[in-house]
Amino acid sequence: MAGLRLGYAVGHKDLIKQMSERRLAVDTNQLVTAAAAAGLNDDEFVARVCKLNAEVRNYLCGELKRCSSISYLLRRTSS
């Protein structure tokens, strides 16, 4: 849902400071935090989402390989 977004960033403190200065005025609310906690505590949900993410990543990489004019770097930050 567009209204339920949660994320985080990891990086050098100067970069994080610059990003923080440009973030949206809307901040995380209690509903978002509760939904995120519930999702992370649901092992079946986490496994399903990880599997789906891997499938989509593999599909996208396969399609990019078919386009010889597009290069990319494969990064696996989460599985």
pLDDT means over runs of 10, the chain (79 residues) = 73 89 74 87 91 92 85 70
Task: Write down the pLDDT at residue 2.
Answer: 61
- Find, among 27, 39, 37, the residue nearest to 3 by Cα: 27
pTM: 0.56
- C-beta of residue 38 within 8 angstroms of C-beta of residue 65: no
Helix 30-40 and helix 43-66, axial crossing angle in degrees, nearest 10? 90
Task: Write down the pLDDT at residue 51.
Answer: 94
Q: Which two tokens stand for residue 59?
A: 């599909």
Task: Write down the pLDDT at residue 8.
Answer: 76
Task: Write down the pLDDT at residue 9.
Answer: 79
